[in-house]
Chains A and B, each alone.
Chain A
Amino acid sequence: MLNYAVKRLGLSIAIVSLAMFLLFCMIYLVPGDPASVALGPRATDAMKEALRVKMGLDQPIWVQFWNFFSGAWTGDLGEEVLSGRPVLDVVFEQLPYTLILIAGGITWSVALGIPLGCWAAINRGSFADRLVGILSVAVIAVPSFVVAIYALLIFAVTLQWLPAIGAGEPGDIGDQLVHLILPSLAVGLGWVGYIARMVRASMLEVLEASHIRTARAFGLPDRTITYRYALTIAILPTITLLGVGIGQMLSSAVFAEIVFARPGVGKLVYDAILTRNFPVVTGAVLVTTVIFVLLNLVADLIVGALDPRVRSSF
């Protein structure tokens, strides 16, 4: 297992490095001078030149790349244009909100998706199975910002069951959880569909396997066979899928944070784009990439921990 973890970590580091390289290329290749973009149309040439030197844009490209790359790996993502605060601090301030939002989305998708998929597989071909199939496709098809807007209109504005905006009183966990319900539903609802479909498909496949026939031939109760012999295998591809899906949830989180006026990295990036605070945009994208890669790593390690075959194949 340790061997597997180390190899998988190496892969993650390579992916993050590649992402940094691509991000650098994008910044460098985008036409226009970052300094004048940052300072706006009314800046004088002297101001632009000063900022260019401060940002290191007067250096040769490979020096710039090295500065960017080594800086990023050591947590130096530059400074905010106006306040001069380190970008990393700014992003980390907002990060917990987004992580909790995504955790909420995962909770929705797992808590609803796995039982629905499992139920559909066991009652294959029944009305319930078809209903789950149709609902899955429906929630996958609806974009998350639409879910966000309708959830807000129905549950917060019309019914007034749940709060509409913000993240809740700091320190009041109950209030924060209540504020989390709708935005996390917007992030996770589509994934209920993906997971239900995935679990159903892999469950049907596993139930056909010959080891399940062995379990039946020993007269094990249906419940044991379904949950301990089949579902433990059928959820493995789902965990991997979720790891990848976190990327999409991160992008849904941007919309959810804007619609519900919640603090978070998505809101931060949105505001930063509006105010041309580009170091913050870059920094937030990098941090998000790292988070994505890390969560992917976690998903793979969980699969490794649950599946002895994966563990020993590395």
Chain B
Amino acid sequence: MSTLSISGLNVFFSTEDGPLHALKDVAFEVPERKIVGIVGESGCGKSTLINAILGLLADNGEVRSGQILFEGSHELTQLSKVEMQNLRGPRISTVFQDPMGALNPVLSVGQQMVNIQYRDDASKAQKAARAVEMLQLVRIPDAESALGRYPHQFSGGMKQRIAIAMALMMEPALLIADEPTTALDATLEVTTIELLKDLQKKIGCSVMFISHHLGVIAELCDDVVVMYAGEVVERGTVRDVFHAPGHPYTRRLLECDPARQTERTRILPTIPGEIPDLRARPQGCVFAARCLQQHLGCDQPQVEQNLGHDHAARCNLADEVSNQEVSA
């Protein structure tokens, strides 16, 4: 059974210039105890995907169709507000992108960590002890006194570790991490990733890890989902996708990966051109305008092609192109 199983998910935002189709026919699985990376340029819908799962879409957002099945039994798009609220935290925990602003500035770290345990019957002292334990796990020095301090008294890396401690303290079945390391420098990024991996093993949860950093995905994840303009263009195991990418976009991403450049840079992968306007999606392939391998089939709606066991790419020419690539 998968922890999370998404199929046919379509999310729209209503905007002044008409409806914006932010997620189109998104489908993938987060298997139990696996780490799934979601990768794609900014604006491709990663945060929207998370918000749709959490039931926290902005007021102008709407899940038009599709299923988000959690632990095989909860259909998240159908839950009431209260049912969803009861899953958020204890069953599905989240670490957000922005470590600077993710914690409340006027409440101490201890208050915030105790407050999120409001469902427990434990005494306040027990809850505080639990918080200290978690802070120690994420290697916050002097964890006891850290409880009394406020977010602005910690560095960005420490705040992100506190956020991770808060999320994992709930012992969730699914941890969602939205670019948790993007704002950190390279060395901190590595330690944070390792920490996350350790804790995931320890708690035995599934992880949905969002990043636009391919190196991090390769390091941490079992499976990877490549998104482009609100569509899943390729998915499979990290091994399959990284070694035999089936979609031209995945290939371009891999070529642009800074880790593959000779000089180490922090510049994000860039491919000439921009994501199409999601208010006016092209009839055919969303990536066609930026694709180097244009064919007649690009004008047609793209169908997901199976490239092997649990490896698929949404490109009508996926088989052909990857074969060409192999033979070339």
Contact between B153 and A211, CB atoms less than 8 A apart: no
Contact between B104 and A229, CB atoms less than 8 A apart: yes
Interface string of A293-314 (1 = CB under 8 A from B): 0000000000000111100100
**A300–B26 CA distance with the chains assembled, in angstroms:** 51
Contact between A219 and B87, CB atoms less than 8 A apart: yes
Contact between B89 and A217, CB atoms less than 8 A apart: yes
**A141–B116 CA distance with the chains assembled, in angstroms:** 44
Is A213 an interface residue, CB under 8 A from the partner?
Answer: yes
Is B107 an interface residue, CB under 8 A from the partner?
Answer: yes
**A308–B152 CA distance with the chains assembled, in angstroms:** 8
Is B301 an interface residue, CB under 8 A from the partner?
Answer: no
Is A160 an interface residue, CB under 8 A from the partner?
Answer: no
Is A13 an interface residue, CB under 8 A from the partner?
Answer: no
Is B317 an interface residue, CB under 8 A from the partner?
Answer: no
Contact between A220 and B115, CB atoms less than 8 A apart: yes
Minimal Cβ-Cβ distance residue in A for B55 = A216
If over half of B's interface residues share one DSSP class (helix, strand or loop), that class is named, otherwise mixed; here it is loop
Taking CB atoms and an 8 Å cut-off, the chain B residues in 94-142 that contact chain A are 94, 96-98, 101-108, 115-116, 118
Taking CB atoms, residues of chain A closer than 8 Å to B152 are 308-309, 312
Minimal Cβ-Cβ distance residue in B for A311 = B150
Taking CB atoms, residues of chain A closer than 8 Å to B85 are 219, 221
Is A232 an interface residue, CB under 8 A from the partner?
Answer: yes
Contact between A219 and B86, CB atoms less than 8 A apart: yes
B89 shortest CB reach to chain A, Å: 4
**A307–B87 CA distance with the chains assembled, in angstroms:** 32
Taking CB atoms, residues of chain A closer than 8 Å to B168 are none
The count of chain A contact residues (Cβ–Cβ below 8 Å) is 22
Interface string of A211-251 (1 = CB under 8 A from B): 10111111111001000110011000000000000000000
Given the interface pairs A224-B115, A307-B106, the reply to whether A214 lies near B89 with Cβ below 8 Å is no
Q: Which of B90, B93, B97, B104 contacts A215 (CB 8 A)?
A: B104
Is B166 an interface residue, CB under 8 A from the partner?
Answer: yes
Is A210 an interface residue, CB under 8 A from the partner?
Answer: yes
Is A209 an interface residue, CB under 8 A from the partner?
Answer: yes
Taking CB atoms, residues of chain B closer than 8 Å to A307 are 105-106
Contact between A218 and B106, CB atoms less than 8 A apart: no
Interface string of A159-185 (1 = CB under 8 A from B): 000000000000000000000000000
**A306–B150 CA distance with the chains assembled, in angstroms:** 12
Taking CB atoms, residues of chain B closer than 8 Å to A210 are 96-98, 101-102
**A209–B98 CA distance with the chains assembled, in angstroms:** 11
Contact between B103 and A214, CB atoms less than 8 A apart: yes
Of the listed residues A219, A229, A308, the one surrounded by the most CB atoms of chain B closer than 10 A to its CB is A219
Taking CB atoms, residues of chain B closer than 8 Å to A221 are 85, 118
B198 shortest CB reach to chain A, Å: 22
Minimal Cβ-Cβ distance residue in B for A214 = B102
Taking CB atoms, residues of chain A closer than 8 Å to B166 are 218
Taking CB atoms, residues of chain A closer than 8 Å to B94 are 214, 217
* 30 A-B contact pairs sorted by A residue (CB < 8 Å): A209-B101, A210-B96, A210-B97, A210-B101, A210-B102, A211-B101, A211-B102, A213-B56, A213-B96, A214-B102, A214-B103, A214-B104, A215-B104, A216-B56, A217-B54, A217-B56, A217-B94, A218-B88, A218-B116, A219-B86, A220-B116, A224-B115, A224-B118, A228-B115, A229-B104, A233-B105, A233-B106, A308-B106, A308-B152, A312-B152
